[in-house]
Amino acid sequence: MTIELDINDSLPELTKKIKTKSNIVDQKKYVKVKKNVVICHPSDSTGCGHIRFVYPFTYLNAVYGKRGQLVPFLAPIFIRQGDILARTRTIYFQRQMTDAHMEIVNGYKNNQAKFKYKMIYDLDDLVWGKNENEGGTNKHGIPTYNFASDRITSNLKDNIITIMNMVDLVTVSTEPLKKYVQELTGVKTPIEVVSNTVPQFLYGKARRAGVKRRIEKPIIVYPQSPTHYSNSKKMKGDLNNSWYDYFMKSIEENKIQMVTMGNLPWMFEDVKDKIKVIPWINAYQYAAILKAMSPHFVIMPLVPNDFNSAKSDIKYIETCAVGAIGIGTKFKSGRISPYDNNIVTLPDDCTIKDIEETIYKYCDSKEYNEVITKQYDMLDTDGRYLESPQFINKLISIL
């Protein structure tokens, strides 16, 4: 006798179904359970956690959960209930690395043979350096201007490697990050690239109308978080280039309206009264506030290092989704940059004159409108919206 259990059964209903008149049926032998639950364990509760887990799995649950086709849910604690684990097809971890996280992952691993679920681990940043064992300047992987460089200890990095060796699949945000992980950790677990996307349910489907005349005083947003520079260490970080000089010159000459998001970088303290500063905001507000500013340009300067080469182009696709021109950095040395495919780029050694000429060129209404149209088209054709079939099919295929 085989008993089919419905995903919507309550625990009392399950108990009733598996009882006979005089005996309880051997569940291990006879009960078939619809394995459609995906337990998602976010670790990062800020922007990365939302981009990698909260947004996509909330959407999948909304689309497929009611019919029981796929039931992903975000779990803040270790799930120990046997009736839930019996229905679970996948347990997905996002960037877990602490000793407490290790206990959680170990607990699931110990039950994997019994409940037959898949275990996946997601990593979206590079935390190892090529010269780590030799004591080189890049031993942390994470640049010293990023506050995480002081927080990611050797123990945490070892935990990540242990977890990646324990699971069935590792997912990363970019191809370069996949390559770095394979080269620097020796992990043999298969690695899949799941690119970052922007949710249309936050950014909207409507395209921003183009500009009708030349932009005289462009609104230029610098949206990078305080991980791209260090106020405490007084390090310019990814602004240690001509972009800083351009901003200072253009602000003093009143040629642009500069907006910083997340914080005021320390090096702009002397001109803070001429800059619009948007304090750190939560991930759900970010899209609405960025749209409301109606920026003309969003710039993403980077300095060349392995950490930046492994990063995703999330700031660029967010920029495309609000109808502003994104200007990303290309590394002149040939090193990979997340912004290599931007329509508008400047090299990491560009001059103030290079920047001024680029901004001037794209302040022309025709030039400007052509770029934002191509950017919108890219989001559609390349499947960079969360709701796009390319992304959803990719995500479901690994679950």
Give the model confidence (pLDDT) of 285-316 as tens digits: 999 999 999 999 999 999 999 999 999 999 99
> Per-domain residue ranges for the chain?
35-197+386-398, 200-381
Where b means 16+ CB within 10 Å and e means fewer, 179-217 reads ebbeebbebebebeebbbbbbbebbeeeeeeebeeebee
pTM: 0.88
DSSP H/E element including 347:
strand 344-347
| pLDDT at res. 37 | 96
Instruction: State the Cα angle at 304 between 301 and 310, rounded to 5°.
Output: 90
CATH for 200-381 is: 3.40.50.2000
Contact between 307 and 143 under an 8 Å Cβ cutoff? The reply is yes
Record: fold of 35-197+386-398: Rossmann fold (3.40.50)
CA–CA dist 187, 35 (Å, integer): 28
Residue 131 exposed, middle or buried by CB count within 10 Å (0-12, 13-18, 19+): exposed
Q: Which two tokens stand for residue 397?
A: 């295929």
Reported in sequence order, the residue ranges of 154-254 that DSSP labels E, i.e. its strands, are 169-172, 191-193, 219-222
Quick: pLDDT tens for 316-359. 999 999 999 999 999 999 899 999 999 999 999 999 999 999 99
Domains 35-197+386-398 and 200-381 equal at CATH topology level: yes
Contact between 230 and 145 under an 8 Å Cβ cutoff? The reply is yes
| pLDDT at res. 41 | 94
Contacts of 237 (CB under 8 A, 6+ apart): 143, 145, 146, 228, 229, 230, 303
| pLDDT at res. 130 | 67
CA–CA dist 81, 382 (Å, integer): 40
